[in-house]
Amino acid sequence: MSLYEQLGGDAAVNAAVDIFYRKVLKDARISRFFQGVDMERQAAKQKAFLTMAFGGPNNYSGLDMRRGHAHLVAQGLDDSHFDAVVEHLGATLKELNVPDALIVQVAAIAETTRNDVLGK
Amino acid sequence: MAIIELEGKSYPCEENETVLDCLTRHGVQVPSSCRAGVCQSCMMRAEQGEIPKAAQVGLKPTRVTQGYFLACSCKPQDDLRIRFPDAEGLRMGARVVGKELLSHDIVAVRLVPDKPMDYRAGQFIRLFRDGGLSRCYSLASVPVLDEWLELHVRHVPGGQVSGWVHGDLSPGDSVQIADSSGHCFYVPDQQDRAMLLVGTGSGLAPLYGIVRDALHQGHWGPVWLYHGSHGSKGLYRVDELHELERQFANFHYVPCVSHEKPSNGMRQGMVLDVVAGDHESLDGWQAFLCGHPDMVTLGKTQLFLSGVSLSEIYADPFVAS
Ligand SMILES: Cc1cc2nc3c(=O)[nH]c(=O)nc-3n(C[C@H](O)[C@H](O)[C@H](O)COP(=O)(O)OP(=O)(O)OC[C@H]3O[C@@H](n4cnc5c(N)ncnc54)[C@H](O)[C@@H]3O)c2cc1C
Ligand code: HEM
Ligand code: FES
């Protein structure tokens, strides 16, 4: 079974999206990057993010991640912000009682995107 | 082989090909990102034909009922006629059958379209002043309750269209409108759910429609309507809404004034602050926000942080053109 399936597929994404995004918006370190993004589009984007981090179906390339976050890098997006997002991702999954072994795998997937997201 | 029709042109779709791939292959630009049915960048709308269920996964019910779908996940079995989501609706003529002053700066305009228009209370139409100049106005009327379309137009100082509506437009006039669009409306999929509707100024228009639509369709969960204005002279349909409260025990109407001492039955404060004071948790609620763009933006975040799910927030900021 793939990681995505073990986590529960799109039901897991749906369960995680509100919890995760509330954490992000309440975090003064990173909330500013999300201001001005329309909520409805945001819901879909957060789902896209979670689906990708959970190892689910997506066709994002490294280049897509670079392009998609370039405007944020221009606003100062750096490793500390990236770490904060990964932290909230882990805390969200913990809240949903996901076993630690799977959380580690999710964090590892997120980690593979670090250089692209941060435009390094 | 299914044929896809878009903007008057036909595109044959190969076996097992998605609408997105088909259109891209024919050189049509369609926004896309994940190409896996998650990011909703590729949303389009079907006007005719059967949409496979898989192409509507994750869309809001108000989108599904209107035939929206994700082009990257749509492998059509039948021919489809589709359009881009923001494409303007059908143009049609309409006759002004009534005009009534609602508050010091808001008028109600009643229109009867030349041919029957399929719409839902809370959606908006485009009203044309002349060939090119048009603005969006929300529908306060309910198809099964009202024989006309009703708009509430606030007079924006120096406003080209709202000024014309307030000044020149008169009963008997013929105007052009474009078909309804928007996804702020009631879907009776969970009639026990708690609903919160928050509007400022003429933002009451869509909410007035949605509330009456929901109650008359038998919604029995609590329905809370907050209408905010600077002063009491900006509140309108107050008697009608209090009457609705008497008629439906689950309906609560809360008029709010921000810059004036409140009188009978009104509450003092910015409308979102009054909401926050009344409801500590909005977990499981559905919310509608309409009117001033700043209020709508603030409200989306506030209500989301109070517990409303991202997928249950419907909003129409009345942004200037
Ligand atoms: C989805 C949607 C639904 C809408 N529904 C309604 C509705 O039900 N009722 C309603 O009254 N309006 C509604 N609006 C707003 C409406 O479409 C027009 O923007 C508004 O009537 C102003 O148009 P105008 O031609 O009169 O002013 P314009 O000629 O476009 O503007 C004149 C000047 O006023 C400024 N301005 C424009 N709007 C505002 C404002 N709201 N406050 C302060 N300054 C402004 C402009 O920047 C400009 O300087 C809606 C907008 C949208 C997008
Ligand atoms: C942890 C690794 C990350 C991954 C895998 C990731 C993935 C994604 C994906 C898939 C999208 C949607 C793109 C689309 O289809 O439009 C997106 C958008 C976005 N991401 Fe990330 N992201 C990551 C980290 C971050 C960080 C650290 C921030 C900021 C603190 C961030 C902020 C955003 C914003 C604001 C958007 C929306 C952009 C817009 O449309 O304006 N992301 N991300
Ligand atoms: S491209 Fe992301 S949903 Fe279709």
Of the pLDDT bands very low, low, confident and very high (cuts 50, 70, 90), residue A78 is very high
* CB of B316 sitting under 6 A from ligand 1: yes
C-beta neighbour count of B135 within 10 angstroms = 21
B138 in Cβ contact with B206 (< 8 Å):
yes
Verify whether the Cβ–Cβ distance A39 to B304 is below 8 Å.
yes
CATH (residue range B91-181): 2.40.30.10
Pocket-testing residue among A69, A85, A93, ligand 2, by greatest number of atoms within 8 A of Cβ: A69
Indicate if ligand 3 lies below 6 Å from the C-beta of B72. yes
Mean pLDDT of chain A: 93
B153 lines ligand 1 (CB under 6 A): yes
Q: Is B32 in the pocket of ligand 3 (CB under 6 A)?
A: yes
Whose CA is closest to A21, among A108, A95, A77? A95
Nearest CA among B245, B258, B312 for reference residue B283: B312
Q: What are B181's strand-pairing partners?
A: B124
Using an 8 Å CB-CB cutoff, list chain A residues near B36.
51, 56-59
What are the chain B neighbours of A10 within 8 Å (beta carbons)?
A: 57-58
Residue B39 C-alpha from the chain's centroid? 22
Q: Indicate whether residue B135 lines ligand 1 (CB < 6 A).
A: yes
B33–A57 C-beta distance less than 8 A: no
Class of B2-83 per CATH?
alpha beta
- pLDDT over 70, % of chain A: 100
Nearest by CB to residue B304, choosing from A22, A51, A56, is A22
Give every residue of chain B whose pLDDT is below 50, as ranges.
none
Cα-trace Rg, chain A: 14
In chain A, what are the domains?
Answer: 3-117 (1.10.490.10)
pLDDT at B83: 93
Q: CATH code for B195-317?
A: 3.40.50.80
**What's the CA-to-centroid distance between A22 and ligand 3, angstroms?**
24
**Contacts with A2 from chain B: Cβ below 8 Å:** none
**pLDDT bracket for residue A81 (50, 70, 90):** very high
Ligand lying closest to the C-alpha of residue B40: 3
Q: Is pLDDT at A66 greater than 80 in this prediction?
A: yes
- Locate the domains of chain B by residue range: 2-83, 91-181, 195-317
pLDDT for A40 beyond 80: no
Contact indicator for A105, A55 with CB cutoff of 8 Å = yes
Q: Do A25 and B304 touch (CB under 8 A)?
A: yes
What are the pLDDT digits (tens) for B155-175? 999 999 999 999 999 999 999
Pick the atom of ligand 2 nearest to B33's CA.
15
d(CA A27, CA A32): 9
Task: Indicate the top mutation candidate among A34, A45, A59 to test ligand 2's pocket, ranked by most ligand atoms within 8 A of CB.
Answer: A45
Using the atom order of ligand 1, give the atom closest to the CA of residue B162.
Answer: 26
Q: What is the pLDDT of residue A37?
A: 74
pLDDT of the residue at B182 = 86
Instruction: For residue B69, give the DSSP letter.
Output: E
- Residue B136 Cα to ligand 1 midpoint, Å, equals 8
Overall average pLDDT of the A32-50 stretch: 84
Euclidean distance between the first and the last CA atom of chain B, given in angstroms as a whole number: 42
Q: A14-27: per-residue pLDDT in tens?
A: 999 999 999 999 99
Place of tokens 């002043």: B129
Predicted local confidence at residue A36, as pLDDT: 73
pLDDT for residue B91: 87
